[in-house]
Amino acid sequence: MSDEQQPASEGALAEHNRRAVARQRLEPRPATERFKEQMLTLMNEFERDRRAEIIAAGGDPDEDRDPFEYTRLIADRWAETEKDPERRAVLVDELAQDLALDEIRAIRLMAEAAAAVTPRLIYEDVDEGMSVTQVADDLGVSEGYVYRILRQRPAADQ
């Protein structure tokens, strides 16, 4: 590039870049979003390399894994997209590609089991002194829900 083509200052460079972005109709992404993407990429690369090293050494890379890790990831992403229909639609598309029918069946049945066991866990935690507020926060439900479960508690469980 000749001296005539080089921008004269940082301000001119910034203006040049702004115009180039505008011509291409690209939306500039915030730095935090770019940073997050770069960090996720690095973490995925690290995880892939770590798994390869463990397998090469004859180990089981899933030995120390939380069995609910993927379930929590889905739940967290579902909660994050609650108020953003576009992001929720993207998540649904991703899950439809990632999950098979037998996995959906297992998740659905696990959700039914979780719903059935929830009242017992509420009773136990409250009986052990946990506040209704803490129980509600841990479950991700309203305090009213916890109070309703406590009101419906069978006399034999009290």
Going residue by residue through the chain (158 aa), what tens digit of pLDDT does each one get?
Answer: 444 555 456 777 777 777 777 777 666 678 888 888 888 889 889 888 988 888 888 888 777 777 788 888 999 999 999 999 999 999 999 999 999 999 999 999 999 999 999 999 999 999 999 999 999 999 999 999 999 999 999 887 66
Between the alpha carbon of residue 81 and those of residues 27, 31, 87, 91, the distances in Å are 21, 21, 6, 8
Instruction: Return contacts of 51-55, CB within 8 angstroms, 24+ apart.
Output: none
Q: What is the DSSP letter of 155?
A: G
The pTM for the full model equals: 0.54
Query: Which amino acid is residue 128, in one-letter code?
Result: E
